Amino acid sequence: MQIRFMGTGAADFSELLETEYKDILSPKARRSSSMLINDTVLVDCGPHVLDSFRIQGLDPSKVTDLLVTHLHSDHYNKSNVAKLAAQCKQPLRMWYRAGATPTPMENVVFCPVEPGETFETEHMKCVALAANHKSFPLHYDIEIDGARLFYGTDGAWLLNDTFYAMMKRNYHCMVLDATVGDYNGDYRLGEHNSIPMIRLMAASFRSQNVVAEDGVIILTHLARTLHKPHSEIAPKLAEEGYTVAYDGLCMNING
């Protein structure tokens, strides 16, 4: 399984995305969080994802499935979803939490799913998991060719049913919300993770076989105004066993 981070930022986008970093990717100006799997499965389609396709020379027409984590505008931009769908070679399947009512658009097959529901395509097997956030949130348990991936952003901590569904899954890769920096006392603890929160969760992930012994934990959705520069936090957190994602990071996850 190949994963590529199309964006790794939270909603506090830098104005430099309109000028200095308009045509390049840089951790100094993170785009809206999104991830592309095997060139065919896109997680979230916010305001910057099509720019990320263009800058990296990737072909959006290969995308067959869009997994929507929730309907906040930095993760779901209906104009960009419509533009993406118009380029797709076949109707774009859009998966999202049941109860939401996205705007109808051409060349899109709407696929609402309930938390706990399993769905399969020719590319993947996926379980929708309840998330601790607003606007019809979901996390995703994704399995492709024996490689197991957990994608959990936005969201804080884990809901009880979700954690029990994840136990002993032995994910080869976990992608976690890391909106808040390495400090305590932030008011967002009900909907976003901080680095201290991640440390607490990671210990349980390891002890309960949520993550495989050699599995990687990747942090994304970093708020520009709540973190120190990437050049400072990435080496420090790497020493603790975490990978801090940046726009354009591409990794192969083996089962």
Has residue 125 got a pLDDT over 90? yes
Has residue 250 got a pLDDT over 90? yes
Has residue 123 got a pLDDT over 90? no
Q: Give the helix, strand, coil percentages of the chain, each rounded to 5.
A: 25, 35, 45
Structure tokens at 168: 């002993």
Percent of the chain with pLDDT over 70: 100
Percent of the chain with pLDDT over 90: 99
Residue with tokens 């995308």: 63
Q: What is the pLDDT of residue 95?
A: 98
The rounded distance, in Å, linking the Cα atoms of 148 and 30 is 26
What is the residue-averaged pLDDT of the chain? Answer: 97
Taking the mean position of all CA atoms in its chain, how far away is CA 215?
A: 17
* pLDDT (mean) for 173-189: 98
Confidence of residue 196 (pLDDT cuts 50, 70, 90): very high
* pLDDT (mean) for 140-152: 97
Residue with tokens 């976690």: 176
Listed in order, strand segments (DSSP E) in 98-190 are 108-113, 118-120, 125-130, 138-144, 147-152, 171-177
Q: What is the pLDDT of residue 255?
A: 87
The rounded distance, in Å, linking the Cα atoms of 100 and 172 is 30
For the range 107-111, what are the long-range contacts, defined as Cβ-Cβ under 8 Å and sequence gap of 24 or more? Answer: 108/81, 108/82
Confidence of residue 225 (pLDDT cuts 50, 70, 90): very high
Residue with tokens 């969080």: 33
* pLDDT (mean) for 225-253: 98
Render pLDDT for 57-107 as a digit per residue (tens, 0 to 9).
999 999 999 999 999 999 999 999 999 999 999 999 999 999 999 999 999
The rounded distance, in Å, linking the Cα atoms of 200 and 220 is 17
* pLDDT (mean) for 144-171: 97
* pLDDT (mean) for 133-157: 97
Render pLDDT for 31-65 as a digit per residue (tens, 0 to 9).
999 999 999 999 999 999 999 999 999 999 999 99
The rounded distance, in Å, linking the Cα atoms of 231 and 245 is 12
Q: What is the dihedral of CA 117, 170, 223, 135, to 10 degrees?
A: 10
Q: What is the pLDDT of residue 41?
A: 98
